Amino acid sequence: MASSLEILRNVTTGTICTMLLKKGIRRSWMTGPMPLAFSGKRVVGSAFTLRFVPVREDLATPASWSNPISTRAAIEEMPEGCIAIADAMGVTDSGIFGDILCMRMVKRKVSALITDGAMRDKHGVLATGLPVWCAGIAAPASVHELTFVNWGEPIGCGGCAIFPGDIIVADDDGAVVIPKDLVDFVANEGAEHELLESWLVQEVEKGQKLPGLYPPNEDNKKRYEEWKKSRK
C-alpha cells in the first residue's frame, strides 16, 4: 500500500487546502512563494525550517557567513529528502540564497527550497535544477536586509505557522503546509477528492449542469459510486 507521502504526490495543493479546511485550518497556503525553478513534478517532504530576523548591522555582515550559526552551516544539517523552508518575513529586496548554496542543497539531495523571501543569482539557481518557490529575485545578499538566526525552530512563512517535521507540498499553485498529525487524513481524503473531481470533469464535459453536480446531491453521489465500481 502506498504511503501517505506517496499519495500526496498525486494530490493538488488546492485539494489539500480544502481537506485542511474540513479540520478548521484556514492558513495552510503560503502567501508569496511561487515556482521559480519547477519541473512540473509536485514535491512532497518534511519541513526543515530556517529563520531570518530584521537586519542587525553588527551581526549581518559577510563575515557572518563563516559563523557556526549561518545558512552555510544549516545546509550541512539538512537531511536527504527534506524541503528547506525559510522564513524571510516577506522581505524581497535581498536574496537569501544563490546558486552555490542551492547547488550544495542538490548535492545533499534536498527536495526543494521554499521561502517567502527572494532569491539571487537566478540564472545559476535555475542551472542547479533545485526546485525553488520564492517571492521574487533580488541582487543584494541577505545581509543587506536580514539576519540569519537559526534552523530547526517553528517559523512563520507566507502567513503560515510551520513546525519542523510538518509536511510541505508544492506545485504550480504554490506551497502548503500539512500539520504532521493530519497527514494521513489529508492524503486519504485528498486522494478520494481527486477521484471525485476527475468524475465531475467528465460529467461537465458531457454537458451536465453544475447545480446538484458540484457539489453532488444524493442522486449524483450514487452515480459516482457506480462509476467507481465500474473502474474496478
User: Could you tell me the CATH number of the domain that includes residue 143?
Assistant: 3.50.30.40
3-state secondary structure of 94: coil
Residue 1 lies in a domain: no
Mean pLDDT over 25-41 rounds to 91
Domain count, the chain: 2
Q: Is 96 exposed, middle or buried (0-12, 13-18, 19+ CB in 10 A)?
A: buried
Query: Are 155 and 203 contained in the same domain?
Result: no
Residue 143 lies in a domain: yes
Q: Is the dihedral of CA 104, 106, 109, 112 positive or negative?
A: positive
Query: Are 203 and 104 contained in the same domain?
Result: no
Residue 192 lies in a domain: yes
Question: Is residue 199 predicted with pLDDT exceeding 60?
Answer: yes
Query: Are 173 and 198 contained in the same domain?
Result: no
Residue 116 lies in a domain: yes
Residue 88 cell numbers, joined: 524571510
CA distance 232 to 228: 7
Q: Quick one: pLDDT at residue 63?
A: 87
CB atoms under 10 Å from CB of 29, counted, come to 19
Q: Quick one: pLDDT at residue 192?
A: 94
Residue 64 cell numbers, joined: 557572518
Query: Are 61 and 138 contained in the same domain?
Result: yes
Q: Quick one: pLDDT at residue 39?
A: 73
Mean pLDDT over 159-170 rounds to 97
Query: Are 45 and 117 contained in the same domain?
Result: yes
Query: Are 37 and 119 contained in the same domain?
Result: yes
Query: Are 173 and 193 contained in the same domain?
Result: no
Mean pLDDT over 180-187 rounds to 96
Instruction: Cell 537566478: give the residue.
Output: 122
Instruction: Cell 465531475: give the residue.
Output: 200
Query: Are 84 and 139 contained in the same domain?
Result: yes
Instruction: Cell 458540484: give the residue.
Output: 214
Amino acid type, 147:
T
Query: Are 33 and 90 contained in the same domain?
Result: yes
Q: Domain range for residue 218?
A: 185-231
Residue 6 lies in a domain: no
Amino acid type, 79:
P
Residue 208 cell numbers, joined: 451536465
Question: Is residue 158 predicted with pLDDT exceeding 80?
Answer: yes
Mean pLDDT over 177-194 rounds to 96
pLDDT bucket at 1, cuts 50 / 70 / 90: very low
CB atoms under 10 Å from CB of 169, counted, come to 27
Q: Quick one: pLDDT at residue 114?
A: 98
Last residue of a domain, one of 155, 178, 201: 178
Q: Quick one: pLDDT at residue 37?
A: 76
Closest CA to 201 of 185, 183, 224, 230: 224
Closest CA to 146 of 97, 80, 196: 97
Ranges of beta strands (E only) in the chain are 34-37, 43-54, 83-87, 112-115, 132-134, 146-151, 155-157, 160-162, 167-171, 174-178
Query: Are 146 and 189 contained in the same domain?
Result: no
Q: Max CA-CA distance within the chain? A: 68
Query: Are 124 and 192 contained in the same domain?
Result: no
Q: Quick one: pLDDT at residue 65?
A: 86
